[in-house]
């Protein structure tokens, strides 16, 4: 899941003053006018992704590029199993397990 930070509201960058901070600000001649500081500091928000979050982001991108599920093939295999025609090749199964583990290791190395 990617998070789009480009659409964040920039209004969150405004300075907020506590009552004690407001009391320390210079007062204007009009008591009803809002207090305006002479100099303001604008803070910008930032986000730093952890290595784990970066790893998940990379894995997500790789998964998005992988092929979709072949439902027709799944249905054929289910039918073959239910009819007793599906034979398991142990050597092929072991090779596919090793291949899968290697792919998972590649995701972790990203």
Q: Within a 13 Å sphere around the CA of 92, how many CA atoms are in the beta-carbon half?
A: 3
- Is pLDDT larger for residue 84 or for residue 10? 84
Cβ atoms 25, 17 nearer than 8 A: yes
Distance CA 46, CA 69 (A): 38
**Section 80-106 average pLDDT:** 93
pLDDT recorded at residue 95: 97
Packing angle, helices 51-64 and 90-109, rounded to 10: 130
Domain enclosing residue 98, as ranges: 69-110
Domain assignment of residue 51, yes or no: no
pLDDT recorded at residue 18: 61
Domain assignment of residue 99, yes or no: yes
Domain assignment of residue 104, yes or no: yes
Domain assignment of residue 103, yes or no: yes
Domain assignment of residue 102, yes or no: yes
Record the pTM: 0.31
Domain assignment of residue 95, yes or no: yes
Domain assignment of residue 25, yes or no: no
Q: What is the pLDDT of residues 23-33, one digit of tens each?
A: 666 655 555 65
Neighbours of 57 (CB within 10 A): 15
Domain assignment of residue 85, yes or no: yes
- Is pLDDT larger for residue 109 or for residue 42? 42
Contacts of 49 (CB under 8 A, 6+ apart): 57
Instruction: Please state the domain count of the chain.
Output: 1
Asked which of 49-53, 86-90, 97-101 is least confident by mean pLDDT, the reply is 49-53
């Amino acid at each position: 899941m990617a998070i789009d930070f480009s659409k964040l509201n920039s209004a969150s960058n405004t300075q907020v003053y506590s009552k004690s901070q407001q009391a320390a600000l210079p007062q204007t001649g009009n008591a009803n006018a809002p207090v305006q500081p002479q100099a303001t500091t604008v803070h910008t928000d930032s986000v730093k992704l952890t290595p784990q979050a970066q790893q998940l982001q990379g894995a997500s991108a790789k998964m998005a590029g992988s092929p979709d599920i072949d439902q027709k093939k799944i249905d054929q295999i289910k039918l073959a199993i239910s009819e007793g025609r599906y034979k398991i090749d142990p050597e092929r199964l072991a090779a596919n397990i090793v291949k899968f583990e290697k792919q998972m290791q590649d995701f972790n190395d990203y």
